[in-house]
Amino acid sequence: MNRAGLIGFAILSIFFLMAVAPWIFAPYDPYIRFTPYAEPGTDHILGTNDMGHDILSELIYSARASLFVGFVAAILATLLGVIIGIIAGYYRGWIEDLLMGVTDIFLMIPKIPMIIIIAAFLGSGIWVLILVFGAFSWTAIARIARSKVLQIRESGFVLSARCLGFSNRFIMAREIAPNLTHIVFPKFMLLAASAMITEASISFIGLGDPSMKSWGVMLSFAFTKGGLLNGMWWWYIPPGIAISVCVMAIALIGYSREKGADIGVRG
């Protein structure tokens, strides 16, 4: 990992710590009510919001939901993409044509409008967001996984696994899949970043889960409850910075691995 990757890793670790144990960092419970609309001061470093919640504590507690959505949605999309890509690349023929045709159709569907429509029908919630994001984001991974599998399936160790009498499922899961890690991982990190931004956007336009604390929900309230109009920068700038820095950290890790992606299995 290069220096940029290490910086990204350090930043992301801090965010992960915040998500796992927010009480270590946060000065208050984010649901305790103080004087609303307080400006930053010694008691509340980033002031309070319309409900009187301490914004710094809210910011720290929000890391959990944002990271959760980002990574769970990315894991879902990656699993789907890798499975579809491996099956298409390994079996080839009509199975490949069918799966890649479906991939092309999914590739055309715009993700955020789709999530807005589905959230409007099914009601908003964190799991709807995760499932819909996962269901519509696997296409890129399926494509790169397939093209790599086409290459790996002709390699000697896959042939010798067939010579040794291993089943197709074993070969796909144990011989081919691990060899995809280095090309799928950077894509996975970028998907996680993209899912976090999607969560923030969806929450911002009011289709998020209002009972949950996430950076997108914070931004949404800052906007709808007058924080933006009244110039309360301590309310809307910190969640924006948190999203940007966290996404940047994830992207840095992803990019740093991408550079090494062409080293690995040859032929």
Partner 1 sequence: MSRLLDIKNLSVSFVSGEETVRAVTDVSFDLCEDEVLTLVGETGCGKSIIAHAISGLLPPEALVSGEIRYKEKDLQSIPEEERVLLRGCEIGIVLQNPSRALNPLYTIGHQIRETILRHTEKSKEESNRMVAGALRRMGFSDPGIEMKRYPFESSGGMNQRFVIASSTILSPDLLIADEPTTGLDRSRIQDVITEFERIMEEEEMAIILITHDLAVARRLADRIGIMYAGEVVEMGDANRIFEEPYHPYTKGLFGSLPENGCVPIPGVSPPMSRIVSGCRFHPRCGKRTAVCERDHPQLGMIDDRYVRCHLCHSQ
Residue ranges binding partner 1 (CB under 8 A): 93, 155-157, 159-167, 170, 174-175, 178-179, 265, 267
Round to whole Å and give the CA distance between 146 and 87. 8
Return left, alpha or beta for 214; rule: phi > 0 is left, psi -120 to 50 is alpha, else beta.
Answer: beta
Nearer to partner 1, 162 or 225 (CB): 162
Nearer to partner 1, 159 or 205 (CB): 159
Question: Smallest gap, in angstroms, from Cβ of residue 262 to partner 1?
Answer: 15
Question: Smallest gap, in angstroms, from Cβ of residue 221 to partner 1?
Answer: 48
Nearer to partner 1, 33 or 174 (CB): 174
Nearer to partner 1, 93 or 110 (CB): 93
Nearer to partner 1, 14 or 265 (CB): 265
Question: Smallest gap, in angstroms, from Cβ of residue 153 to partner 1?
Answer: 11
Q: How far is CA 84 from CA 5, 89, 255, in A?
A: 29, 8, 24
Q: How far is CA 96 from CA 88, 137, 146, 167, 262, in A?
A: 4, 19, 9, 19, 24
Nearer to partner 1, 147 or 181 (CB): 181
Question: Smallest gap, in angstroms, from Cβ of residue 167 to partner 1?
Answer: 6
Question: Smallest gap, in angstroms, from Cβ of residue 155 to partner 1?
Answer: 6
Question: Smallest gap, in angstroms, from Cβ of residue 103 to partner 1?
Answer: 23
Question: Smallest gap, in angstroms, from Cβ of residue 3 to partner 1?
Answer: 27
Question: Smallest gap, in angstroms, from Cβ of residue 266 to partner 1?
Answer: 8
Nearer to partner 1, 94 or 121 (CB): 94
Residues 6+ apart with CB under 8 A from 38: 44, 47, 48, 52
Nearer to partner 1, 3 or 169 (CB): 169
